Amino acid sequence: MRSARTTTGVLTILLAVLTLLGAGSTASAAQVPLLSGPNVVVLMVDDLPQEPARRLFSLTPNIRALFLDGGQRWTNMFANDPLCCPGRASFLTGLWSRHHGVRDNEDPTVFQPEVTVATALHERGYWTGIVGKYMNRLNVLPDKTPPGWDRVAITAGGYWTDWWIDDTLEVHRDKALPADYHTDVLRDQATRFLREAPQSAPVFLLLSTYAPHAGEDIFAGPIVAPRHLGDARCQSVGRYKSPAYAEADVSDKPDWVADLSIARLHPDGWPLMKACRALLSVDEMLGAVVGELQLQGRFEDTLFMLVADNGIGWGDHRLIHKAKPYATHIPLWMRWDARLADAPAKVTAHASMVDLAPT
């Protein structure tokens, strides 16, 4: 893990944040006890490209108020891998996939979670929790309680699915039960985590949603919480159609791009309605978390991050899915009222997933 040893040269603008957090030290994490520090809440959404993210988030009131109206937007943020599991492993470890070993979504047992941002912060006195999607094929992992976390409530993904909550299996697969919807289970577990947190300890909470990942069919889009079907707040979201959408002339692109057909794409742009409505439940979940932080007096000294595990094609350069370099441009917002209140709203410096763990 790169945590405290190699971050001083990451980025000029990131350095200010790293210095504030004490990450610029040359000593190891075990040698630098952190008696106090900011709370850290990371909201990681699933499969969301950078370009349409701002349009989607502008229609989600809690996300808009927290990040778009008061945070830093990083316009050149990139995933190191355009896949879920490698991206999540890079976030947790600060390592490239060639070092942490997770190169695809097929075998989560490759990931070694003994040294992560969670173990580093836990050693420094943080109350740590992970809630939501962890790794694909979670069922093959022999240990459902990775090191470094005080509370664990994890899934492999899916909108109605099995959860492992502090090493106990809970089944939330009943589509007739609105409370079984993934983001609502996540909300309940996240607020429970905060209520159980010792008041004397800073918290690190990873909120990992499945939204707006598509369901079984990418053309059908994500599965929306029943209460948000037909929600009028998303009526104006429109479609996503960048200059690269359904690219006609791909003579300057690799052969595999030329092999992709534009006939399967929506001619007037990628529909965003379901993605917007799926994010409304994420927005409500974030609102509940922010409300609990405010009740506890933690809000001002909380570093919030909003990021995606990876991007996705949505028609750019003819790409629909991910697993290609075009699916690495991802959103990143940061907010920390105690230290970044006067920070610029837009940051154009380049950053990537491996920068977040040391930050």
CA geometry: angle 275, 317, 268, nearest 5 deg: 55
Supply the pLDDT for residue 24: 36
CA distance 307 to 332: 5
CA distance 77 to 328: 8
Supply the pLDDT for residue 341: 77
CA distance 212 to 220: 12
**Do strands 127-133 and 151-155 pair parallel, antiparallel, or not at all (unpaired)?**
parallel
Q: Find out whether 282 and 19 touch, Cβ atoms under 8 Å.
A: no
C-beta pairs of 20-24 under 8 Å, 24+ apart in sequence: 20/339, 21/303, 21/359, 23/358, 23/359
Q: What are phi and psi of 334, to 5 degrees?
A: -130, 145
Report the DSSP beta bridge partners of residue 168: 165
For 279, the token pair is 């994010």
What is the block-wise mean pLDDT of the chain (359 residues), using blocks of 10 residues? 36 41 37 69 97 97 96 96 95 96 93 96 97 95 95 97 96 94 98 97 98 94 97 97 94 93 92 98 98 97 97 94 92 95 86 94
Q: What are phi and psi of 204, to 5 degrees?
A: -125, 115
Q: Find out whether 33 and 125 touch, Cβ atoms under 8 Å.
A: yes
Maximum separation of any 2 CA atoms in the chain, in Å: 60
Supply the pLDDT for residue 344: 75
CA distance 100 to 30: 21
Supply the pLDDT for residue 9: 33
Supply the pLDDT for residue 35: 53
Question: From the CB of residue 89, how many other CB atoms can be counted at a distance below 10 Å?
Answer: 29
DSSP label of 91 = H
For 190, the token pair is 């996240």
What is the 3-state composition of the chain as percent helix, strand, coil, each rounded to the nearest 5? 35, 20, 50
Residue 52: which residues within 8 A CB-CB, separation 6 or more? 240, 270, 272, 275, 314
Tell me which amino acid residue 228 is: H
For 211, the token pair is 């939204």
Q: Find out whether 253 and 316 touch, Cβ atoms under 8 Å.
A: no
Supply the pLDDT for residue 36: 72
Question: From the CB of residue 2, how many other CB atoms can be counted at a distance below 10 Å?
Answer: 17
